[in-house]
Amino acid sequence: LNKESRVSYLKTIKTNNPGIDLQYDPYEGVLFLTEGFEDGFAATEWNLGDETPWTITSLVSHSGTCSAQAGDIGNSEQTTLTIQLDCQAGEIRFRRKVSSEGVCDLLEFSIDGQSQAQWSGEQDWDEVAFSVQAGKRTFTWTYSKDDSSSRGQDTAWIDDITFPIIP
């Protein structure tokens, strides 16, 4: 089976935390933590940033009613959302949306400080996936602005994240 057809075989495991679901892929033997932000930042390990933290919004979402939105920053500033988890080898998947000045103001995703991708301009919701090696991993989303002008809504959102965690 290819990955797209295996989605229907994922087994959902309910937890005592209403904001967090676990899914098990019996074909790969991987457990996924799913974060949809419906109950805020449900995973307690989130680091929301300091001066201009990421927030939960119900105005824009991919699925459900909420997503995480980059903090409201000015020119030459950045806002960062980070989580550190013990992972199995697998993939992290998430949806992202950006409304910003093209090339200059951007959303960047990193694993262990290594940039994986950047997005800017007007980009609607799209799912992205990146390989994850086993071990303690730090996942970081950073929205940053250059020193001039703004376009669009001047922000970024993420939603529906699946992490390949260690059971």
pLDDT > 90 fraction of the chain, expressed in percent and rounded: 41
Read off the pTM: 0.84
**Strands, E, within 28-167: which ranges?**
30-35, 55-57, 67-69, 78-87, 90-99, 106-111, 114-120, 122-132, 135-144, 155-165
Token pair, residue 123, equals 């980009």
Residue 166: per-residue pLDDT: 78
Q: What integer is the mean pLDDT of 109-124?
A: 96
Residue 39: per-residue pLDDT: 81
Report the Cα 90 to chain-centroid distance in Å.
Answer: 16
Token pair, residue 36, equals 């949809």
Burial (0-12, 13-18, 19+ Cβ within 10 Å), 114: exposed
Residue 137: per-residue pLDDT: 96
Q: What integer is the mean pLDDT of 111-131?
A: 96
Q: For 7-56, how does the pLDDT look when each residue is reduced to its tens digit (9 = 90+)?
A: 445 555 555 554 556 666 666 666 677 788 888 887 668 888 778 899 99
Q: For 124-154, how does the pLDDT look when each residue is reduced to its tens digit (9 = 90+)?
A: 999 999 999 999 999 999 998 887 776 668 8
Give the mean pLDDT of the chain: 82
Which one-letter DSSP state was computed for residue 77?
-
